[in-house]
A and B are shown apart, each in its own frame.
Chain A
Amino acid sequence: MAPADKKRPRGLKGVAAQKAAKKSKIENEDDKTQTVILDKEVEEGDELGEVTALYESAKEKSAMGESTDVVLPLLRGTIHECDRILRNWEAEEPIPASFHLTYGSALFDLGTMLDDKELNSFLDAAKERLDIGFDTLKELDTLEESDKKTESKLRIAMAKLILSNAREADENAKEVHSSIVKGLDHLKQAVSSGLLSADDILEAINIAQTNADFQDVLQNMQPLNDWAQEQYTKLLNDDKENVVALSGMGNCHLTLANYWLGKVDTLDDEESDTKTELKEEETKAAEQLKKGIDYYKRVLSVPEIDLEVKGDNTINLAEALINLANVTIDEEEQQKKYQEAVTLLSEFKEQTGVELPEELDSFVEEWNAQ
């Protein structure tokens, strides 16, 4: 080596300074680096376990209603770790399907939390990951129970993704219906595997119900809503105080009620001063609203429900009462229902101090001002 190219020692101070500069550069480049304490037990060195635990942590916090400031970094961290594991994977056997499930789920969740314009690229990436998960399972000679469980969870994740796509598509497009059928099929297969936990089953049913609520076309809404009702009913047969199932049933009826209310032609009402009878859609809506009200009241009568459940169901019940009052001909009955809604909301606010949604708050104020 020519002398000009020779590397020389820097000296102790020079070496220390260079190490400090490198450390500072890494810290500056990765300002969002965060140490996360996982509250799940993971074996040391189990990277796959750790990344799953990290994603589970994000999911839990999201379910608890934590803000995006808390959840987003965890999701980003999950994706970052997944990228790193992928890059450094040197083992002969392929990365397990459960890894792709975690990766794909995190991509999907992150996409739905960010700007709409980024959603599609995240959904595409998530789908790719979930597809690889399915392919990985197909490559296996035999499927252990854990693999089958992973497959069921992959189906739920895929259903979420497909149904989300269906929401974004033009509602008249044929693709929407086939997506719904496909998504629902995934959910059905997942639940019928018998390998999912109660929470996972509830998640699957809730996915169906939530997505049903987004659909304005009956043939797209009904398959999802009907299946969700069927599943909630099964759960209630085992436990009639299953609060999630009771709420879910209430929501199913509310979804149908909203569908029928959405079909009411309001122009007809303007032609007549007094209303003497309900339209067909209003009648159907009223029928669903009464059933929904019944389920919400059953939730609220279950002892020791937590505040979030109480809040959600109080609001749903109040909305249902107001909507039912709106399609009630008899004025006295109508006023009773409005009053019932107002009393319900006022008592809830007084007992819990929880702020009501703006439109309900205004309704209560206006009513009390009469």
Chain B
Amino acid sequence: MPAEDSRPAKRVKLENEDSFHPDLLSQETRDKIAAAFKVSKPYLHCKIDQLVNDSLLRQVRKEIFDNLHFTLKETDIYKVWQTGDLANLDGLPEDELAKLPSIFKLRNVIYSQDFRDFVSHITGCGPLSGKKADMSINNYLNGCHLLNHDDVIGTRRVSFILYLTDPDEKWDPKNGGALELYPVVEKGTPANDPTLIIPPQWNQFVMFTVQPGHSFHSVEEVVPVGKPRLSISGWFHIPQEGELGYQEGMDSEGPQSSLQQLEAPDSSEDYTHYAEELDEDATEGLTEGDLKELIEWINPQYLDMSILSTISDKFVEESVIQCKEFIRPDLAQQIEKATLQEDEEEGFATEEMVPHGTGVGNGWEVQGPPHKHRYMVTASDVQPDGQSSASLLHKLESFFATQSFRRWLAVVTQLIAKGYRGGARKFRPGLDYTLATQNTRGQAILDVTLGLSSTKDRQAAAKWESDEFGGYECYMAPHDDEEDPATYKAADEDGALLTLSAASNTLSIVLRDEGVMRFIKYVSARAPGCRWDISLEYDLPEDAEDDDDENEGDD
């Protein structure tokens, strides 16, 4: 009879082992995944092809579609259909919970001690909370997307996504919906384009450690109708009070999230200042010299004092004005021809996802970083007198910096600009956007944007007007400080002050007061083409705020 100590150790069956793919939690598998994790690029992550027991996951998918209600949520940074937080499952009435046994089981399995140990072993991130379950079900339908961010919010430690795409139809990468991971140029600044693209697949599990300034990622837009990209995503949090590994004060500290980083203060030094001073009487009218210059590019009707007076009255009342057919027709036509042609040549009018990097060249280069914005600007070496879109817009852009335009603005807005910044931009479908930034200048800023998004027909124009394909400029009231930055506003909450659709040859002037946020909504891959514009911000004198306060009692 063998001695007791020579018998092989009894293998301990792990909690919920049957719920996972066979052998997932074995030591061999753990070590293999951990090794791959350590060398993963562009930052630490892992991809597991088959995480969960296939039958269980199929049950989960069925329960989701049979019983759960999705709400569309849309902000500057995402558009996604979401259910409620699965952490709140325990609070559901018994009869409702009885309809979701597999979802309930899956949640418990993911936050089980054994799986958390598995995750800790692979990522080396230390103990994880079993108390703070934080996961939700997301369905990315056509047009849905999630733009660049680093997930650094609150006490998140490990992000994960479990994909529940159609188990019987392999996901085609052309559909979009890929997880895109970005390297950093320096800590806190992601590169303009991702270097790793992971299309979703049934039962695939991806996770990465939430690293401030490093773990930048996005979810590519799902393009076609009828291909839902269903997933369960969530976070493992650091241990909470009463749990092993809890450290007091850790939940209140934390680096600034990428969201918070976007709100650095603005100052007059960030603007190019006019060399000359301008008197207050510039608001009264234009000089001969002004008219001579302006008529070179502005539609003559906008040089007629009676029309300018009417426009000015409206602007003073509403703080926003739009001037259609703003630039001269012959110039507008030139730009229209060049931009439509370029959209065609670069494949931006095909309603399909284009690869990152499309559109670079021809005088355009990408302006990042993508956790704030991504769009194209004219390159420094653009040909000044060419017929390309870059040349034409670069030239047009220069008119907005002239003294004559400054005086025109003074007449219309009754405000004297003392500096400016900005220029021509091109927002590519499927790629470009700006995220909401707040006016932190300490006073109002004058936004002047010339929309140059031409369309080949009425149907295309209607697409822009619908705002369903992005490309619109949105001004939002400032959010309350009490709001959890991880909480996004639902699509139907009334926070928008103003929405301006992408338009052709239309000048918009907006006085954006302190705290007001604005963004250009991500342009969908199915948009009629690029959003083209020339966008400038004009800095105002420091005492403009006092004048506004005096006038508040006038009504």
Contact = CB atoms under 8 A, between A and B. Distances in A.
Interface of A: 3, 6-16, 18
Given A8-B548, A9-B415, A14-B552, 9 more contacts: A8-B316, A8-B544, A10-B511, A10-B513, A10-B548, A11-B516, A11-B548, A13-B478, A13-B515
29 contacts: A3-B280, A6-B283, A6-B414, A7-B316, A8-B414, A8-B551, A9-B315, A9-B316, A9-B317, A9-B319, A9-B414, A9-B511, A10-B319, A10-B548, A11-B444, A11-B512, A11-B513, A12-B475, A12-B497, A12-B511, A12-B513, A12-B516, A13-B477, A13-B478, A13-B513, A14-B513, A14-B552, A15-B319, A16-B477
B280 A9 contact: no
Interface in B517-555: 544, 547-548, 551-552, 554-555
* Chain B interface helix/strand/loop/mixed: mixed
How many residues of B sit at the interface, in one of the four size bands?
A: 20 to 34
Nearest to A22: B555
Nearest to B544: A8
A230 B341 CA distance: 93
Contacts of B316: 7-9
Chain A CB within 10 Å, residue with most, of B444, B498, B554 = B444
B513 A7 contact: no
Contacts of A10: 319, 511, 513, 548, 551-552
Nearest to A6: B414
Contacts of B548: 8-11, 14
Chain B CB within 10 Å, residue with most, of A6, A10, A12 = A12
9 tightest A-B CB contacts, nearest first: A11-B513, A9-B319, A13-B513, A8-B547, A11-B511, A9-B511, A12-B497, A11-B444, A9-B316
B475 to A, nearest CB: 6
A16 B476 CA distance: 11
A18 B547 CA distance: 16
Contacts of A7: 316, 414, 551, 554
A7 B478 CA distance: 25
B552 A13 contact: no
Contacts of B162: none
B432 to A, nearest CB: 24
A10 to B, nearest CB: 6
A25 B235 CA distance: 46
A14 B498 CA distance: 13
Contacts of B455: none
B110 interface: no
B550 to A, nearest CB: 8
B448 interface: no
B510 A12 contact: yes
Contacts of A9: 315-319, 413-415, 511, 548
B320 interface: yes
Contacts of B514: 11, 13
A6 B283 CA distance: 10
Nearest to A15: B319
Contacts of B444: 11
Contacts of B280: 3
A12 B414 contact: no
Given A6-B283, A7-B414, A12 B552 contact: no
Contacts of B551: 7-8, 10
Contacts of A8: 316, 414-415, 544, 547-548, 551
A12 B510 CA distance: 7
A15 B318 CA distance: 6
Contacts of B415: 8-9
B283 A12 contact: no
B533 to A, nearest CB: 19
A18 B553 CA distance: 10
Interface string B430-469: 0000000000000010000000000000000000000000
A18 B315 CA distance: 15
A12 B555 contact: no
A12 B498 contact: yes
Contacts of A16: 477, 497
Interface in B303-359: 315-320
Chain B CB within 10 Å, residue with most, of A9, A13, A16 = A9
Interface string B187-208: 0000000000000000000000
Nearest to A18: B555
Contacts of B320: 12
Contacts of A3: 280
Contacts of B318: 9, 15
A144 B532 CA distance: 67
Contacts of A11: 319, 444, 511-514, 516, 548
A80 B413 CA distance: 42
A12 B477 CA distance: 9
A15 B554 CA distance: 13
A18 B552 CA distance: 9
B218 to A, nearest CB: 29
A13 B551 CA distance: 15
